[in-house]
Amino acid sequence: MNKSVHSEQNTSTLFQAEAWKNAFVKLLPQHAMQNPVMAIVWLGTIVTFISTILGKADLVFGLLVSLILLITVLFANYAEAIAEAKGRGQASSLRQARQNLTARRIANLHDIDGIQVAATALKPNDLIEVRAGELIPSDGEIIHGFATINEAAVTGESAPVLREAGTDRSGVIGGTKVLTDRIIVQVTAEVGNSFLDRMIALVEGSNRQKTPNEIALGILLTVMTVTFVIVVVSLPIIGHFLNISINPILLVALLVCLIPTTIGGLLPAIGIAGMNRALKANVIAKSGKAVEVAGDIDVLLLDKTGTITYGDRQATAFYPLAGVSDAELRQAAVLTSLADPTPEGKSVVALAKEQGEKVLEPEQAEFIPFNASTRISGLNLLNGQQIRKGALDAILKFTAQDISRHSELKTRVEQVASKGATPLVVAYGQNLLGVIELSDVIKAGIKEKFARLREMGIKTVMVTGDNPLTAAAIAAEAGVDDYIAEARPEDKLNCIRAEQNKGHLVAMVGDGTNDAPALAQADIGLAMNSGTQAAKEAGNMVDLDSDPTKLLAVVEIGKQQLITRGALTTFSLANDISKYFAILPALFVAAIPQMSVLNVMQLGSSESAILSALIFNAIIIPLLIPIALRGVKFKPSTSTQLLRRNMLIYGAGGVILPFVAIKAIDLVISQILLV
């Protein structure tokens, strides 16, 4: 415990030391120009210092102003640097996971020897063998075997996970460790473009793309800054005609207090911190835009299995139809499940064995694996007979039967579905044999989560391959707003497009190859780390924990990002008001005595007023860094409520706080200047 605390303290100290070093590095012109607002403050610092040296102002006063302005710039640079340092700290552990990796490349599935090569020599579609105790050298798909894998290097979670060929959990990541068994992996990543490579680039901030909102706000701040620069530059010209001489140092002070320095200094840090918060939730966002868009979504598409329910549907009962024996139905169900690698298919075999059924694989049979599009699995026997298991509508289509002619089947299906279970129908040729009951359990607290989303104004749509009766029962119990039953992969895509055509922003979760088109179409596609490479490539976010409900947390992170930027922008613009009442009287009261009416704070002197305003302008940036990095606390509410809360706390507070703070600083400064 003490060791852990000590380690955290050392890491924190390292971050701070690195951040302060980078804060000074960012003073170089090529870095400074990336932030126009703070570049103007930095230029003003240089102008003030030169003016002081040239005797344009009192030496002590001029140097104090120069120092305060320099500190202001350094604090702004530090805010950005500390956010970047946290990202680089996360990246360093990731780099260790990919160092000195080697691979056993094989020619085909039967090659037992292979050749040892460096991981950097691997190309897409290469086959590699990985045994227990070895590190997986590259991203890929398991095409043979299964294994438990330690993904702690990527996810931070030490508990091993199962990855298996032929399932939606076949994807593996380079740098993770195989703990048991042997697998053959087909490489999917180019050198330098692996999951770890992209993850490192993202958390370091080197690939951070500014979001549209961030770009728009940056343009607004730049326009405001340029406008105030023009105003301030024109003041000496106006003063010349009025026989008023204005000290250049005072002009710089006025400019610095006019431009939005607070949000200008914190804006880059807010963007980087948003990415870091997503990573802290074990979500890799491919861009800052993805995090921000997540905060704007208003339709959420969710799979039932694994998202709303636990996803481990198990066969719990066989219901044969009249004239069909229990053994007959069990045997047919087992045969159709032999080529079904899904947990449901395996549970059918397990339940039949428990009930005393012997599993005998027929010779020379053609197995039909389960397919998400057809929603059927089965086999074709050597004698030409076809046995199938699948959803009611799929089996009826296969057998060319009409449900109206099978009242018993209809009743049995409805009984199973009304319990929230999933009915699977078994057919032997054109004969309907009976129903398998698959039971699943709704996740605890999921209804409350959907209620929370509803408070945010987000519509939830459950997508399931189940029949309408089961779907309706689950939807009612879970509390979703709408559902799509008997859904095929293309139905997800059509639903997303339909909602987008109505002007909605849509998010969805997926892990299989068949989810890839919908993930790519959605405004936010959250792919599971355990899923296929195609799904991870199509999504713009990857959940390292492979928890489909994580999308709910992603939405909150996105909203928090938007609220944080909005709140600090409001505060920055609001606190400029008080600085005007400090600076303007100090500049013009000597030449225009009537300006004294603006000195509502009754500041001690012009010098004290200017120094107090500049000191407050400098210290408010580091005081707001924790909020920029941590984010403003988010509570589900309507846009009107959020705006009202924002204006009350950060608008009104942004006006009141500087008046109090500047007056307090002035009381101290005035005493120092008298000495």
Residues recognised as catalytic: 303
Question: What's the half-sphere exposure (Cβ side, CA atoms, 13 Å) at 510?
Answer: 30
CB within 8 Å of 475: residues ≥ 6 apart: 462, 482, 483
Cα-flanking dihedrals φ and ψ of residue 597, to 5°? -65, -25
Residue type, 14: L
Alpha-carbon distances of 578 from 70, 219, 319, 567, 601, rounded to whole Å: 22, 24, 77, 18, 9
User: Exposed, middle or buried, 66 (CB in 10 Å: 0-12/13-18/19+)?
Assistant: buried
Cα(511)–Cα(346) distance, integer angstroms: 20
* Cβ-contact 351, 386 below 8 angstroms: no
Please state, in angstroms and rounded to a whole number, the distance separating the CA atoms of residues 441 and 455: 25
d(CA 670, CA 519): 62
Residue type present at position 376: I
* CA–CA separation, 155 and 79 (whole Å): 27
Q: Dihedral, CA atoms, 390, 391, 393, 397, nearest 10 degrees?
A: -10
CB-based contact 277:628 (threshold 8 Å): no
3-state secondary structure of 579: helix
Taking alpha carbons only, the member of 254, 219, 89, 90 closest to residue 614 is 254
Report the C-alpha gap between 462 and 132 in whole angstroms. Answer: 39
Query: Cα separations (Å) of 187 from 125, 161, 164, 400, 513?
Result: 5, 20, 15, 43, 16
Tell me the three-class secondary structure of 340-407, residue by residue. Answer: CCCHHHHHHHHHHHHCCCCCCCCCCCEEEEEECCCCEEEEECCCCCEEEEECHHHHHHHHCCCHHHCH
Helix (H, G, I), strand (E, B) or coil at 293: helix
Bridge partners for 626 per DSSP: none
**First-last CA distance in the chain:** 51
Query: Quick one: how far is CA 36 from the chain centroid?
Result: 28
Residue with tokens 């922008």: 569
Alpha carbon distance 286, 118 (integer Å): 28
Using only C-alpha atoms, the chain has a radius of gyration, in whole angstroms, of 33
Choose among 255, 250, 256: nearest CA to 607: 250
As given in the structure block, the two tokens for residue 377 are 């699995």
Counting every residue written for the chain, the total comes to: 675
Pairing of strands 506-510, 524-528: parallel
